[in-house]
Amino acid sequence: MIQIRQFPYRPHDYETEKASNSYLMSLIAAIAGLPLPIVNLLATLFFYLSNRKGTYFVRWHCTQALVSQVFLLGTNSVGFWWTVSVFMGDVDFTNQYMGYMVTLVLFNLAEFAATIYTAIQTRKGIHVEWWFYGNLTHLICPAK
Amino acid sequence: MIAKTIIQGLLTILLFLACWWGLSKFPWDQWLGQSDSKNALEEKLGEQLWRLYSYNGQELKDEFIVDTVDSLVNALCEANDLPRENFKIHIVDKSEVNAFALPDGHLIINSGLINQVTDHRQLAGVIGHEMGHITQKHVMHRLVREMGLAILVSASTGNSGGMIHDILRHLSSTSFDRDEEREADSQSAQYLDAAGINPIHLADFMYMLSTLNSDMPDALYWISTHPDSQERANNILEEYEDWDKVDQSIIQEETWEKLQSVMP
């Protein structure tokens, strides 16, 4: 799911700090933004925009931190509004609902752990690529 | 690279769906005790709010009063296929001309309202209006919209008396939004129509209250929480001006007069 790859060049210390911060940003926003997942995405998007003219290493990791949240933004939003509907009595409490919420918790925990790991490794200058999001990042963030 | 990315993306979605499908097979509703409790939050809130309101005004439990008002509610429920157990009617000794809905189907009717209406079909119209708020789930929608889910969950635990007091004051003294009021009017008119009662009785009551002068604050209570009454009354009149059925009486005139005479 997570692979350590060789980056085209060895990043400087200031680059690894900025790249690592992009993951930390998403973590802090995840805590501050609960239960509205859009806050999380907006915070990372803001960080991405402010660093899009940075070096390739910084841009690449800011992009991976950003795109890695898109999938969970969708699933978490569905979970949030489904929960509101259950609380308001619009829909019933079902096993499908609980199955979805537990799946959501598992995926969020996995992303949470992966984000912490990646932030630490990136700070050390180690290039970490995630399953799917790594390839996606290569497609939308060319080396120039 | 593109094909590989798409395949990985699809596999991620498949993994998510497989987890969801597998976890849905567990009997969560039994483990969490949710089988018989459709909406624990609404139930708790309704119970807490009704308990608080009952401290301020004594609930009238006289058999004659309860049975007479129940006969109106039963008639509306039977004619409209509404489960009677969804409505918990409370008649309270309070002079304010008011009726309002609380979460979980609690419907409060003040004695002041029963004294003020001139015909039992007007009372049926007001009850139908509040039943409309209940069936359309306006109460919980409004609370979540105006107070927030977190406050409601906190208030339902019973540890925050101030919050529950604020929610009760909010529900009993402020109005729903215009669309919700119109929807409740429309529901009430349909309920009355199905029960063989001319919906114009509800419009009559709205007109009557809106023409009372402002030195009768008790009488103006329901109107203050239901703005634009004349306009809404006009809407009902326009919609049902061709109503040509026989206007039914749910209860006899003597019974109604006796009810008003025994009201505090």
- Tens of pLDDT along B103-155? 989 999 999 889 888 889 999 999 999 999 999 888 888 887 777 777 777 77
How far is residue A92 CA from its own chain's centroid? 31
Rounded Cα gap, residues B69 and B126, in angstroms: 12
Rounded Cα gap, residues A40 and A25, in angstroms: 9
Q: Do A96 and B24 touch (CB under 8 A)?
A: yes
* Percentage of chain A lying above the pLDDT 90 cut: 34
Q: Dihedral, CA atoms, A72, A75, A80, A81, nearest 10 degrees?
A: 140
Is residue A62 within 8 Å of A22, Cβ to Cβ? Answer: yes
Rounded to two decimals, the pTM is 0.64
Is residue A141 within 8 Å of A60, Cβ to Cβ? Answer: yes
Judged by DSSP in three states, B88 sits in strand
Q: Domain ranges for chain B, please list them.
A: 38-262
The side-by-side arrangement of strands in the sheet containing B99-101 is B88-92, B106-110, B99-101
Instruction: Scan residues 80-139 of A and list those with Cβ closer than 8 Å to B.
Output: 84, 86-90, 92-96, 98-100, 102-103, 106-107, 131-132, 135-136, 138-139
Q: Which residues touch B111 (CB under 8 Å, ≥6 apart)?
A: B60, B91, B92, B93, B94, B95, B263, B264
Q: What is the number of other CB atoms lying within 10 angstroms of the CB of residue A35?
A: 13
How far is residue A89 CA from its own chain's centroid? 32
Strand pairing report for B106-110 and B88-92 = parallel
Is residue B131 within 8 Å of B150, Cβ to Cβ? Answer: no
Is residue A63 within 8 Å of A23, Cβ to Cβ? Answer: no
Does the structure show a pLDDT above 60 at A34?
A: no
Mean pLDDT of B6-33: 89
Give A32's pLDDT tier (boundaries 50, 70, 90): low
Give B246's pLDDT tier (boundaries 50, 70, 90): confident
pLDDT at B127: 94
Strand pairing report for A2-5 and B106-110 = unpaired
Rounded Cα gap, residues A120 and A92, in angstroms: 42
Contact list in B for residue A86 (CB cut-off 8 A) is 39
Instruction: Scan residues 130-159 of B and list those with Cβ closer than 8 Å to A.
Output: 137, 140-141, 144, 149, 152-153
Does the structure show a pLDDT above 70 at B10?
A: yes
From A12-21, A24-33, B48-57, B207-216, the region with the lowest mean pLDDT: B207-216
Task: Give how far A101 is from chain B: nearest CA, Å.
Answer: 8
Is residue A123 within 8 Å of A58, Cβ to Cβ? Answer: no
Nearest CA in chain B to A80: B149
Rounded Cα gap, residues A79 and A69, in angstroms: 15
pLDDT at B222: 64
Task: Give how far B86 is from chain A: nearest CA, Å.
Answer: 13
| Partner residue facing A99 (CB), from B2, B23, B153 | B23
Q: Write the ipTM.
A: 0.88
Rounded Cα gap, residues B176 and B166, in angstroms: 16
- Calculate the average pLDDT of chain A: 84
Q: Do B20 and A103 touch (CB under 8 A)?
A: yes
The single-letter DSSP state of residue B250 is S
Of the candidates B146, B8, B66, B130, the residue with the CA atom closest to the CA atom of residue A131 = B8
Report the residue count for chain A.
144
- Calculate the average pLDDT of chain B: 84
Question: Tens digit of pLDDT for each residue in B205-229?
Answer: 888 877 765 555 555 566 666 667 7
Instruction: Scan residues 42-71 of A and list those with Cβ closer than 8 Å to B.
Output: 71
